[in-house]
Structure 1
């Protein structure tokens, strides 16, 4: 019988201490996808027991190309806590991460709860505001090697969120130009259309997946719709900014110390 609590402790300690661990699936802990989500839930429960609060979820594999690459036919998701919300324009320390990468996103703030099967219109009507955002993803596995189940168990690699100024939800976000900049130079250029053709479709999927897990996306929660481009590895001393049409920008500074 799979010891979900033991694996959750391993994953949680790796994230808390920014220490790399061996790939679960190759170190005596093969997991089904259902078990991987159970590990994720229990590892986050450990954070909540330490005083953190659940504030939303992030979506992953929101592009068809990524699904094909990973051999899956559905999105994955992870949980966001208040400790993962980083000060916009602030400074982050690379010693808190193992393999930190950053990617441009669209963030939603909910004005009403969502759970289960909803229409696109119902999802849109539950959004209070949208914002440009960046997600720091950080796999805790040695050599950045992992399976789908390993990723999900590791909270779908979610580690930090930078959110820009919130904007009214009445703007069209289906095809916004987005660029990720390091020290003012674009390192990735894309469009919000890369997020399932329309980021709101990701919110529809978020509601469905949350419902399947017995979770409600609560009023005031943040939902990260998914990456608009590939992720870029963070470097010491770099200034990172996402620039979007209509929504503005969000930025963060990286400290000088290199990651482990």
Structure 2
């Protein structure tokens, strides 16, 4: 029987101290529901210290990534307000262990959304959309982990940046985007890479969060998932996303 609280404390402490820990399930045999229980308990420790839930992040939203990991569904993690990096501002590299960034599109909800919903119902709950960046960071030693490891470690989510909010009624199904580091384009992609349409990620978020007893709430942000591969980050860099017809967003990674 797994020790949920003990493992949650280990991962939470590693995140707070920005240090590596050994894998908790190196053979990948842990049931995913147990991994999510560890994630939930770890985030609850953060909330007990004063953080507030801010939303949900989606992961493995690429079909190719699902096949690679041998799974048939996306994964998800929990966002808290202390993970937010204000657009255009700086965060410290010392906060992280193995930080990488990936470009995404973000939703903010104007009303609760839960259960098995249609794309139209999901869209009706959206207040606005925005270009966004997620900082993902595994706490595991040597950047080695299994699927249960990743889920337990909050699906590697560590920070997020959201650009200006835009009208969700404009078509965002296939918007071109670039991610740049210090002004040099390092990734080119499209929002269509997110499950074929980012709304499918929001539909999945509603289903999975409801199943966990934590339905999506008004005001929450949903990070739809990476539209391109992630890029490793270094101290002193400026990371930005530019999304067709929407806007730009970025942040500084301080030394």
Band of TM-score, shorter chain: over 0.9
Query: How far 1:31 moved relative to its partner?
Result: 2.4
Q: Residue 218 of structure 1 aligns with which residue?
A: 217
Q: Residue 82 of structure 2 aligns with which residue?
A: 83
5 Å-filtered alignment, 1:245-256, equals 245-256=244-255
Q: Deviations over 1:72-105 (max 9, x none)?
A: 1100000000000111101111111000000000
Q: Residue 135 of structure 2 aligns with which residue?
A: 136
CA distance in 2 between counterparts of 1:206 and 1:236 reads 32
Q: Residue 16 of structure 1 aligns with which residue?
A: 16
CA distance in 2 between counterparts of 1:212 and 1:13 reads 27
CA distance in 2 between counterparts of 1:112 and 1:91 reads 31
Could you tell me the TM-score, scaled by structure 1's length?
Answer: 0.96
Could you tell me the TM-score, scaled by structure 2's length?
Answer: 0.98
Query: How far 1:125 moved relative to its partner?
Result: 0.3
Q: CA contact under 8 A between 1:24 and 1:30: conserved in structure 2?
A: no
Q: Deviations over 1:123-157 (max 9, x none)?
A: 00000000000000000000100000000000000
5 Å-filtered alignment, 1:53-202, equals 53-202=52-201
Q: CA contact under 8 A between 1:93 and 1:255: conserved in structure 2?
A: yes
Q: CA contact under 8 A between 2:26 and 2:145: conserved in structure 1?
A: no
3-state SS, counterpart of residue 20 of structure 1: coil
CA distance in 2 between counterparts of 1:9 and 1:183 reads 36
CA distance in 1 between counterparts of 2:40 and 2:134 reads 20
Gaps of 5+ in 1: none
Q: Residue 26 of structure 1 aligns with which residue?
A: 26
Q: Deviations over 1:197-235 (max 9, x none)?
A: 110010000001111111110001000000000000011
CA distance in 1 between counterparts of 2:142 and 2:188 reads 27
5 Å-filtered alignment, 1:31-42, equals 31-42=30-41
CA distance in 2 between counterparts of 1:236 and 1:159 reads 16
3-state SS, counterpart of residue 225 of structure 2: strand
Query: How far 1:17 moved relative to its partner?
Result: 0.8
Q: Deviations over 1:44-74 (max 9, x none)?
A: 0000000000010000000101101111110
CA distance in 1 between counterparts of 2:92 and 2:21 reads 20
Query: How far 1:26 moved relative to its partner?
Result: 3.2
CA-atom RMSD in angstroms? 1.1
3-state SS, counterpart of residue 25 of structure 2: helix
Report how many residues are paired. Answer: 255
CA distance in 2 between counterparts of 1:190 and 1:243 reads 11
Gaps of 5+ in 2: none
